[in-house]
Amino acid sequence: MHRDCESIVLREEEIAARVKEAAAWLDARFFGTVPVAVCNLKGSVVFFCDLLRAMRTDTEMDFMAVSSYGDETVAAGRPKIKKQLFSSVEGRDVILVEDIVDTGRTLVTLRKFFEERRVRSLTVVALLDKPARRKVNVSADFTCFTVGDAFVVGYGLDYAEKYRDLPYLAVLKRSVYEH
Ligand code: IMP
């Protein structure tokens, strides 16, 4: 385990097994169609790649970025769309891939974004859910794991841009971000 981490929350094998289940769930909905899978950068990128490669359904990929964090562990407020999609999604089935639903504000912003673009359907898949920290009433359609309110890193999730490359999910030591 990385020296800045306190404990491992989810091991690589546990994540891989659950990602397969998420992929099967999406295949059951979408096989035979070509949905657009949207990765909300950067935290979802590892999950996104593993998920799409575990699916049998053909997908197109697109990317966007929404951020509410600086280099902090507490959301700074209203999420802002920092990067728009490359292609039009009007009339398309969209699978939005999220790393974590925390306060829920990012997901509310994204749901509104896709509604305004008149997608045919929107399905949200989240790797993690932190229901204890929810500030708005929103949830993903498929959640891989529910976690407590500790700050977690790895498997795409960062603290100040670090730890995204860890293959597991771990709780960061408080001493790393409390100076
Ligand atoms: P929300 O808008 O509060 O739901 O925040 C969602 C975003 O906050 C996620 O997409 C993450 O990028 C970030 N985030 C929330 N909790 C954590 C965490 O424990 N570790 C890393 N990033 C987190």
Tell me the pLDDT tens digit for each residue of 44-98: 999 999 999 999 999 999 999 998 765 566 656 689 999 999 999 999 999 999 9
- Helix spans in the chain (H): 12-30, 45-54, 105-116, 174-177
| CA-wise closest residue to 42 among 15, 60, 64, 68 | 64
Q: Reduce the DSSP state of residue 93 to 3 states and report it.
A: strand
How many angstroms is it from 171 CA to the middle of ligand 1?
13
* Count of all residues that appear for the chain in the document: 179
Residue 39: strand pairing partners? 63, 97
How many angstroms is it from 83 CA to the middle of ligand 1?
17
- The pTM score is 0.94
